[in-house]
A and B are shown apart, each in its own frame.
Chain A
Amino acid sequence: MRSPVRRVGESIRRHPVSWITWAVIIIGWEILAHLAPASTIENSPLVPSWEFVFTDALKQLSGSWTFDFWAPNPSRGGEETYFGALLAILYHSSQSLYRLVLGLTVGVLAGVGSALVISYWRFARRLVWTPLNFLRMLPLLAAIPLFQYWFGPTTMGTTVFIAFGVWVLLLVSTINAVNNVPDRFIESARTLGASRKRTYFAVIVPAALPELRTSLLLAAGLSWSLTVGSEYIGLGSGLGNILAVAEFFTNTGRMIIIAALIAFYALITFFFLDKFFKRLVSWVPTLADDSNVARVAGVAAIGAPADQPISG
């Protein structure tokens, strides 16, 4: 197993331009930070330097730790500490992750489940297609105030919101996937004597599953947007909340840290979801050529409905 250092070295040698690009961006950012007009508000540089990000901004995150144990509570006058910041990050991350995982799971199960039920009857599939397509096009981010009106800015409300968005997405994708099962599998099953019911469960459903990979990843991206969006707008905890607090104080340093964290979590979510899915459909002859998960999933990480898998 090659050591990580050697792997990085190899990567640099093979893709020099990419690494240089990143280096340029990071250094350029630092230069920009020093050149940008000084902000009139303390602790709110327009472009935070890296030093600021990793020291003051990071410490200021501890302001989001509003409990009185384990670390000083800045909101009650306690000092800002790195440990407090770490706790704050862990706490709010877990809040977001909890909402996300719950909403995503419920949404996926409900979406695939209801789709499989509807898809059994050809007439039902065609009937629901038009209204579902409309529902799918509703910009969910715009519906955040609506959902918060209904459920209040609560964890339950956010989870229902996420589940709803994911449900619509997977409902449409699964019906589509069932529609796209190649004729030849169905005809083969029928000529081998299988009944309609058996054909549906033993042939159509398994054949449709692999096509759900893209939608699953899109659902993950969607969930992240909806989670952060909801928290940003109304909630009292979670990564989106810290982002909102930071923005309120125009503290770009904190914002960058949180943004990077969210990106990191999102990538991990995609990675694990993809791995799980591949195990589920381990029999597939050739998995989709996009093994770069970030590329497949990240692109529609914002309430963009999954189209007929990106061809038309």
Chain B
Amino acid sequence: MGAEDAKRVGEQVRAGAVRVDHVSCVFEHRKGHLVNALDDVTFTAEPGEFVCVVGPSGHGKTTLLRVVAGLQPPTGGSVMTGERSVAGPGADRPMVFQQDTVFPWMHVRDNVEFGLLSRGASKADRKEQSDRWLKAVGLEEFADSWPRELSGGMRKRVALAAVLALDAEVALMDEPFGSLDYFTRRSLHELLLELWAETRTTIFFVTHDIEEALILADRILLLRSGKLVDDLRVSLPRPRDEDVRARSEAVELQKVILHHLGFGAEITDERSLRDEGVTG
């Protein structure tokens, strides 16, 4: 690796980081009283990390994601990706939504190419990328189909392809598999992890499902009532199959998470968990 390459890699490493700095988000409820959707949240995601934001519904996970996406301006604090601070949505932080956002009036291929077209990529480039990503998510036969001809799980794959095709440093996902059945979700987990290993994108994945977080995350952020109550590193080996998730370290981790979110028994020996390297 020459000096040029090293420099480029170094830049990339810096570029994939996301720094959330004392972000608060206060909403006025219809009846007039104020709601702290986010309360002084601070953390830095390293480039290439798979970060899961976990918490009960209504506690700020989606708000946090939307702030990072630029869809929601915070009332306090700031978000930086790479060197730039976030001022609005953009293709450097594309998002997979919880609801079905595949555009029904475009063929599957056009959906995947949508972001590329907005960027001004040439027809040949777009086709190359859409071919590549449709193959990666296993939908190359459906390139010319209408979205309504696909199942919900397949449409989610289209949404994933559309986001990944942008080759951005950061990808955001808001409970993307929430509306799908367990089995579809599992195969999508495998797919996502495969693609992530290839691209090493920094991923922000919001979920209320602890098991899902354990399968996917390098790092789990716990959000409760808008506050960041814990930041856990998950050192379990990949792939996180049933055996790995059945290990005592994994079970203890789950207990810690539940406890911090207000469920389960007191954890008296958290420090020993950290010593064992289960959490960090």
Contacts and interface: CB of A to CB of B under 8 A. Distances in A.
Touching in the complex, A and B, CB below 8 A? yes
Interface string A242-282: 00000000000000000000000000000000000000010
A191 B118 contact: no
B104 A285 contact: yes
B53 to A, nearest CB: 17
Interface in B141-164: 146-148, 162-163
B91 A192 contact: yes
B148 A283 contact: yes
Interface stretch (A46-54, A68-76, A155-163, A181-189): A181-189
Give the bracket for the number of chain B residues in contact with chain A.
20 to 34
Interface in A157-188: 182, 184-185, 187-188
B94 interface: yes
B183 interface: no
Given A189-B114, A191-B93, A193-B119, A203 B103 contact: yes
A15 B97 CA distance: 47
B99 interface: yes
Given A184-B97, A184-B99, A192 B162 contact: yes
Contact of A191 (B89, B99, B103, B146): B89
A195 B119 CA distance: 9
B95 A191 contact: yes
Contacts of B146: 283
A284 B115 contact: no
B90 A185 contact: no
Contacts of B104: 283-285
B69 interface: yes
A192 to B, nearest CB: 4
B182 interface: no
B105 A193 contact: no
Nearest to B93: A191
B117 to A, nearest CB: 8
A198 interface: yes
Nearest to A185: B101
A191 B94 contact: yes
Contacts of B257: none
A192 B148 contact: no
B90 A188 contact: no
Contact of A194 (B97, B106, B118, B163): B118
A191 B69 contact: yes
Contacts of A286: 148
Nearest to A198: B118
A207 interface: yes
B97 A192 contact: no
Interface in B98-142: 99, 101, 103-106, 114-115, 118-119
B71 interface: yes
Interface residues of A, number: 23
Contacts of A206: 103, 105
Interface string A179-222: 00010110111111111001000110011010000000000000
Contacts of B115: 192-194
A117 B115 CA distance: 24
Interface in B4-37: none
A187 to B, nearest CB: 6
A22 to B, nearest CB: 39
B220 interface: no
B101 A184 contact: yes
Contact of A187 (B71, B91, B114): B71
Contacts of B114: 189, 192, 194, 202
A190 B89 contact: yes
A180 to B, nearest CB: 15
Contacts of B106: 283
A190 B97 CA distance: 12
Interface in B37-63: none
B152 to A, nearest CB: 11
A207 B147 CA distance: 14
Contacts of B103: 185, 188, 203, 206-207
A192 B163 contact: yes
Nearest to B163: A192
B148 A284 contact: yes
B172 interface: yes
Contacts of B172: 191
Given A190-B88, A207-B103, 8 more contacts: A188-B95, A189-B114, A191-B95, A191-B172, A192-B162, A193-B119, A203-B103, A285-B147
Interface of B: 69-71, 88-91, 93-95, 97, 99, 101, 103-106, 114-115, 118-119, 146-148, 162-163, 166, 172
Lowest 7 CB-CB distances: which A-B pairs, in order? A193-B91, A192-B115, A188-B101, A285-B148, A190-B89, A206-B105, A191-B95
5 contacts: A185-B101, A188-B95, A193-B115, A206-B103, A283-B105
